[in-house]
Structure 1
Amino acid sequence: METKLVKLGKVAKYIKNRVDIDCSNSGEYVSTENLQSNKFGVSFPSSSYPASGKVGTYQTGDILISNIRPYFKKIWQANKSGTYSPDVLNIRATSATLTQDFLAVVLSDDRFFNFMVATSKGTKMPRGDKQAIMQYEFILPKLTVQQRVVHIIKTIDVKIELNQQINKNLLKLSSNIVMAASLKSERITDLQTLLDSSRKANISIDEVSLDTYVSNTSLRANKRGLDTAEDYPSVKTVRAVEPGDVLVGNIRPYFKKIWFADRKGGASNDVITFRADNTTVTPEFLFGILYSDRFFDYVTATSKGTKMPRGDKQAIALYQVGLPDKDVITSVSDVVNPMLEQVSLNEKQNQQLTKLRNLLLPKLLAGDIDLSNIETVMNNA
């Protein structure tokens, strides 16, 4: 394969266009908050939008990367135009020898993020060094090879994005079904009456893996489930998590972080674990109530603190819930349960697809895989 080694700064540049803030465009605003960890793109809308000043502008195809704590690997290739915060980098190809899509593939490689981390500045809140980033070196093949590599990676990415969209729709539908039954009920009760009141056990951190540890940072914003944790906490024990538990991020609740547990694990103290009292309500029904915007709006309104607000657990316990008859709860849960099971299956498939992508990508970029007949192979797959 005909290749050459190039530095990023020789074939791409930062886009620094700035415009006055226009709140009418806030729906397409990209910040470090709504960029998703582990290369899962972006979640619109952003939970906040600056009230004054200037913001950057991006266009379709631009590559947006969070420049704060680069080990979170937040990246998105734009499929629309919009604006972005100063803590986000916007990179665009400048050479005719490099396609924008191939550049997006290169910058989504773990080796690029490892380089960002290694050259970043700061400790508590490290930031990527913009000058150092432009010194990143990668193999630049001829354009036909770039197109083949992009085709392979994009095929995987499209399937991951499709699963994400299906899950978003299933979770919203399941919650709407629950809330329709709840809001019709004339019997109102406090949230705490629906919960298992027994003390939740702690387990040794040694019994928890990165796939089963739930922290405020591993929970995705905007109700998008759970990421694999980046590291373990420096504690000996964590709160035990059981399948069917509902976990909600309790720091800055306006991020709407929630996950319906499909496996055993452990959770940090910054995550509230809700466990249904099965004699009163099912786990599926409880999840539908807690997934709703109504619940998160309440938690946000009653939270304590300003810069880093936390949900008030006493106020949360008093959240008012409409509780229908037991047979209605059972019927609704029977409808919702298969939806949540499908969400879990889609998440597991996405984990496998992500592992496949991460395995293939460095080999493709290094030219270690023969792509001469890839179109035939992909068309016959």
Structure 2
Amino acid sequence: MRGLSGMVDNLWPLPDGWEWKKISDIATTTSGGTPSRKNSEYFTGHINWFKSGELGDSEIFNSEEKITEEAIKKSSAKIFPKDTLLIAMYGATVGKLGILGIDAATNQAVCAIFPKKNLGIKIVEEKFLFYFFKFIRSQLIERSFGGAQPNISQTIINNVTIPIPYPNNPKLSLDIQQRIVARIESLLGEIKHNRSLLEQMRQDTEQLLDSAIKECFALSRMETWKNHSCLGEIAKIIAKQVDPTLPQYQTLPHIGVDVIQANTCQLEDYRTIEEDGVTSGKYLFTSGSILYSKIRPYLRKSVLVDFEGLCSADIYPLSVISDEIEPKFLMWFLISPLFTDYAKSHSGRARIPKINRDALFSFKLVYPNYEEQISIISYLDLIRFEVQKIDKLLKEDEKNFNYLEQAILEKAFRGEL
């Protein structure tokens, strides 16, 4: 691909009659705006107002928030017509695309692209642009800038070059573009169908482990368990808060709530204290600790670690102090339906639900004998292992679909479809 700063290099050869054109030669760009949040009345209207996070590589019709005509007049927000091509310039969805299915406004993180006309005919089809930007998205983001996260400016977008068939014959050019788009959508339609099947398989796979957890901790089964204790008699928080900037902690793993997977008792990839640049106080946990997320208990985040590290204050680092409980059994129990319902009902009504320490340790834990605990652990570990194998295969399939999609788009913009 080429540099996106206006200088052309490494462009592929095009069929006769095709030419490379800058976006600025064939289209104009602008961005939206955000009405003042200080005036809540601005957000009580009927005008769809899309934020960059709502772009999902598809046609969009209904925004999360609606604004008034007065909000349009008193801000830089503006109404764009149906079929306008949108691209997220920054934020979590940077590079994502959307096509307006209705007249609507956007915030300032969204760039709107409008084809220019030649002899009264559009030089470029919106969907032709849509698929080209989708094709070059990764290169576009790689060449973006903006501190902690990518930032695709209008300048970058305007300097992108795109292959246009017969640009001096707008009628023929538009006809070819529309036929290419139709061919792309026909081929990608098959991929989209297969992706939907893949997503259904992924959801079914996730339910396997969830069903196994519900089976192991069903009330009917737990009624046969004879052992009862408050959780505070089973586990304690022994970990102490430390200063993570001290040299001895720099190479230790840093575990935040975000790296604990929901519902699986597994960790995502994590980094060290030094890599994350941690400066605020953290809790030093030891190998064998159960890390339980005290915020948003409905996400069911619990994991048993086999290493020493530091965790955030949003995590309870629990150490089992009873010989009657296998730590891994308690780890699984903490994401069981019974305990999750308890944690949710005892969470504060703050913006972020959180179970406090007193409520946690007051929970009346019922548990089976040691042999049944081991049986439950083995069963859930096995189910999770099988789910992980299936998930790995599904991810490989998804990767292959991505490769195939890119291959189709590459052929399209080489004029080979």
Does the CA-based 8 Å contact 1:191-1:321 persist in structure 2? Answer: yes
Structure 2 CA distance, aligned partners of 1:149 and 1:230?
Answer: 40
Which has the greater radius of gyration? 2
5+ residue gaps, structure 2, are 1-13, 33-42, 46-50, 57-63, 68-84, 99-105, 116-123, 164-176
Q: Which residue of 2 aligns with 1:217?
A: 258
* Cα pair distance change 1:105/1:266, threshold 3 Å: farther
| Partner-residue secondary structure (3-state), 1:98 | helix
Match of 1:206 among 251, 258, 270: 251
Return the TM-score normalized by structure 1.
0.54
Q: Which residue of 2 aligns with 1:323?
A: 367
1:178 pairs with 2:208: no
180-189 or 329-338, which moves further after superposition?
180-189
* CA offset digits 1:322-370 (Å, max 9, x no partner): 2123333233233222012223445555676777788888787666999
Match of 1:286 among 317, 330, 341: 330
Q: Which residue of 2 aligns with 1:332?
A: 376
Match of 1:233 among 256, 266, 276: 276
Q: Which residue of 1 aligns with 2:228?
A: 188
* Cα pair distance change 1:65/1:299, threshold 3 Å: farther
1:168 pairs with 2:210: no
* CA offset digits 1:284-336 (Å, max 9, x no partner): 53243222344334334434572345431232122222212333323323322
* Cα pair distance change 1:369/1:96, threshold 3 Å: closer
Does the CA-based 8 Å contact 2:286-2:309 persist in structure 1? Answer: yes
* CA offset digits 1:152-198 (Å, max 9, x no partner): 97699568736642442122112202221664235432223444766
Superposed, 1:7-86 pairs within 5 Å as 54=66, 69-70=91-92
Return the TM-score normalized by structure 2.
0.50
Does the CA-based 8 Å contact 1:218-1:230 persist in structure 2? Answer: no
Structure 2 CA distance, aligned partners of 1:246 and 1:127?
Answer: 36
CA RMSD of aligned residues (A): 6.3
Structure 1 CA distance, aligned partners of 2:416 and 2:398?
Answer: 24
Structure 2 CA distance, aligned partners of 1:261 and 1:138?
Answer: 51
5+ residue gaps, structure 1, are 22-29, 40-49, 56-62, 78-84, 374-381
Structure 2 CA distance, aligned partners of 1:106 and 1:353?
Answer: 19
Does the CA-based 8 Å contact 2:290-2:331 persist in structure 1? Answer: yes
Structure 2 CA distance, aligned partners of 1:303 and 1:139?
Answer: 53
Structure 2 CA distance, aligned partners of 1:285 and 1:297?
Answer: 18
Q: Which residue of 2 aligns with 1:343?
A: 387
Deviation, 1:277, is 6.2
Q: State the AA in 1 paired with 2:251.
A: D
Structure 2 CA distance, aligned partners of 1:266 and 1:357?
Answer: 38
Structure 2 CA distance, aligned partners of 1:90 and 1:246?
Answer: 46
Q: State the AA in 2 paired with 1:332.
A: I
How many residue pairs end up in the alignment?
A: 328
Q: Which residue of 1 aligns with 2:356?
A: 312
Structure 2 CA distance, aligned partners of 1:221 and 1:64?
Answer: 33
Q: State the AA in 2 paired with 1:295.
A: F
* Cα pair distance change 1:274/1:342, threshold 3 Å: farther
